[in-house]
Structures are given as C-alpha cells and as structure tokens.
Structure 1
Amino acid sequence: MDRLQFEVPVRITPVPGLPVEEIYSVEQALDFLQGWPARRQGKVYEAAFNACFGATVDVVGTEEACRAFMGFCRVSGLLARDMMNPVRRGSGAARAFREARA
C-alpha cells in the first residue's frame, strides 16, 4: 500500500444532490484543498493543508493528515453523512464506539 494512502477513504459531498466522492490519499486531499476558495480558508483549512503537506515530506503521519482533512470536511459541511470517524490504533472498543457515534 502507498504510504500516503488513507486506511479508510474520506467520503465527502462537495455539491449537495450529487454523488458522494471518496478521497483515498494525501495527494487527493491536497488537490481538493488547493481548489478550495481563498475567501473560505481559515484556521481549520490551514491545519488540514499543513498536515497533508507535512505527510508528503514525512513530518506528519498519513492518518494524522487524514484526521485533519476529515475535521476540515466536517467543519465545512462536506463530510458525507455515512462517514464514521477513523478508529485510532490501540484504543479500546468502547472509545472507538463513542468516536464512531460522535
């Protein structure tokens, strides 16, 4: 598996009424972020962009970049309704269940 590929794709609905899109990797997330309008960029956008860029130069882990991108999508209203939070490795089942339901 490519080191920059997400374990679970991030499902987004960039345009209401159109099919869900899946973002499979850091590169796809960066492409999406680079197309985001400058007037709508803020701190969450910057965090997601920096995390994804950091993953390309091995400063940030791929799954950390995925979580940052997912957070940006959630805050921006892009995250598909059927998208669950990724489970962190080493976490307990109860915690994973709570995160998935949040």
Structure 2
Amino acid sequence: MVIKVSLNGVTEDIETVSDAMDFLQRWPVDRRWPAYRTALKACGAASAAQMADQDALTAFAAFACLMETLVASDAPVLPMEA
C-alpha cells in the first residue's frame, strides 16, 4: 500500500510504518488533533509488533484523509477485509 500525502507543498509516498511515523513527527504541533494521536498510536503499536503494519497504515490513511493531506491516486481502491 502506498499512501500519497502532501505537507508544505511537498508530495511524498508513505510505504511503511516508519515512513508514516516520520511524517507524523513533522506534522505541525498546532494541528495534532485526535486523528493525529490515533494514527501515532497505531504506528507505535505496529512498530512494537502489537498491531499489523497494514492496520496501522490504514489508520494513517484515515488521518491523512481527515486532515486533507491525502493526494489523489490513480490506483484502484481495494476493498477492506472484514
């Protein structure tokens, strides 16, 4: 899963939990709302092998969407597993 995001006019690909954590560390302090904390906790849990990486990246993608930093992709949207 590649998640395209933009911060300060720079677009980047988030491919791993480590990439997501790096992006979250650079997120503006004054915009660290509940969705930010949820994504940060999910990525931290994945880093500690307490959550699947895919689930953490899904939480990160939800954060990016809510914060309107998600960049549209031409890739098809895959259905989520139950």
Name the residue aligned to 2:22: 31
Choose which of 40, 43, 48 in structure 2 pairs with 1:49.
40
Q: Identify which of structures 1 and 2 has the higher relative contact order when contacts are C-alpha pairs closer than 8 Å and 6+ apart.
A: 2
Name the residue aligned to 1:74: 65
The structure with the larger Rg is 1
Amino acid at match of 1:70: A
CA offset digits 1:14-60 (Å, max 9, x no partner): 244x5x32111000100110111111101100000000010011111
Amino acid at match of 1:49: L
Name the residue aligned to 2:80: 88
**Contact 1:67 1:86 (8 Å CA) reproduced:** no
Gap regions ≥5 residues in structure 1: 1-7, 92-102
- Offset, 1:86: 4.4
Kindly tell me the number of residue pairs found equivalent between the two proteins: 81
Task: Tell me which stretches of 4 or more aligned residues in structure 1 moved more than 4 Å.
Answer: 83-86
Give the share of equivalent positions with the same residue, in percent: 26
TM superposition score normalised by structure 1:
0.70
**Contact 1:48 1:72 (8 Å CA) reproduced:** yes
- Offset, 1:61: 1.0
Amino acid at match of 2:6: T
- Offset, 1:81: 1.7
Calculate the aligned-residue CA RMSD, in Å: 1.9
SS in 1 for 2:70: coil
- Offset, 1:13: 2.3
**Contact 1:12 1:78 (8 Å CA) reproduced:** yes
TM superposition score normalised by structure 2:
0.85
